Amino acid sequence: MSPWVLWGLGATLWGVSDADERAVRVPAAKVGLSTSSVYPETTSSAFELARRLGYDGVELMVGIDPVAADIDAVEKLRDYHQVPVLSVHSPCLLITQRVWGTDPWAKLERSAEAARRLDCDVVVVHPPFRWQREYARGFVAGVRRLAEETGITFAVENMYPWRTPGGELKAYMPGWDPTELDYDTLTLDLSHASTANQQSLDLARSWGDRLRHVHLTDGSGSAKDEHMVPGRGDQRADKLLEHLARTDFDGHVVLEVNTRKADTRAQREADLAESLAFTRLHLATPLHPTYAVDGAGVADALTGGSDDTV
């Protein structure tokens, strides 16, 4: 079924919710757009598209272009477009290793300062690479200390083993899967889960209240970190969103999708609009078995006639 047809059905259900507050629960979670989702366009384009398409805000990927590392410039974009910054992604990717210097702790402190200046409450951070041994040794305790000192949530992201012709390479310390590690708050990335041959819904259930931030995307199980439009891969993104609604998730759901292969600006915009429509539709859950509308067709259309539940 076309996502636009689904969006129309979603609008119907929201109308039902207005008439009968018991029908559908929509959590307080805000839906944001990562500035990386418009690459190779600019951070400025991300703010423009987020406003035009109806996103609640943006996540700033520090270092995706020079503007993204200039907090003065980002403040001006935020104020001009009237689009809030929901979260800051620290420059901890391979391609941003030299953004804001090379000291990883200094980069995290600067990320927290950027979050304060931009009036947001979350910094997303990846676990250290294996070659960052000193940083990795004190990482779990260090991010907890920074959170306590700054009042900013540091949400550590799930990663994946790097697959090579010679086997899997354990590239992260203390590990790529944060499930059994003593982090207070976590970011769930669906594409990373797919690359790791995990299921995001399983991770969300096992993490419980530690899950505070979501990078909504998808993957096909490839060794590549694909960041597909949600719903196009193997991560059952619809069921994950319904789980978030059922558990009253009040963090941020950020669309972090790869649109680099879009042939035109119009195609990129269509992918981002589809991603937002998919999220708005599924970030809701019925509070009783049937919807208070004529017939069961809407519920069947939303579930594909399946009895599969979260």
Is 275 domain-assigned?
yes
Q: What is the pLDDT of residues 57-81, one digit of tens each?
A: 999 999 989 999 999 999 999 999 9
Count how many domains the chain has: 1
Q: What is the pLDDT of residues 133-163, one digit of tens each?
A: 999 999 999 999 999 999 999 999 999 999 8
In this structure, are residues 4 and 11 in contact, taking their beta carbons and an 8 Å threshold? no
Greater confidence (114 vs 299) lies with 114
Running DSSP on this structure, what letter comes out for residue 215?
A: E
Is 299 domain-assigned?
no
pLDDT band with cut points at 50, 70 and 90 for residue 296: very low
Q: What is the pLDDT of residues 178-213, one digit of tens each?
A: 999 999 999 999 999 999 999 999 999 999 999 999
Is 227 domain-assigned?
yes
Is 273 domain-assigned?
yes
Q: What pLDDT score was predicted for residue 16?
A: 41
Q: What pLDDT score was predicted for residue 25?
A: 87
d(CA 89, CA 87): 7
pLDDT at 166 over 80: no
Q: What is the mean pLDDT of residues 262-290?
A: 91
State yes or no: cis peptide before 174, omega within 30 of 0. yes
Is 241 domain-assigned?
yes
Helix, coil or strand: residue 172:
strand
Is 17 domain-assigned?
no
d(CA 269, CA 236): 23
Greater confidence (56 vs 15) lies with 56
Residue 212 dihedral angles phi and psi, to the nearest 5° = -125, -5
Structural domain that includes position 199: 3-11+28-286
Q: What pLDDT score was predicted for residue 288?
A: 63
Is 19 domain-assigned?
no
Is 209 domain-assigned?
yes
Q: What is the mean pLDDT of residues 97-112?
A: 95
Among candidate residues 88, 17, 31, the one with its CA nearest the CA of residue 275: 31
User: Considering the chain, what is the average pLDDT of its residues?
Assistant: 88
Q: Provide the residue type at 211 as one letter.
A: L
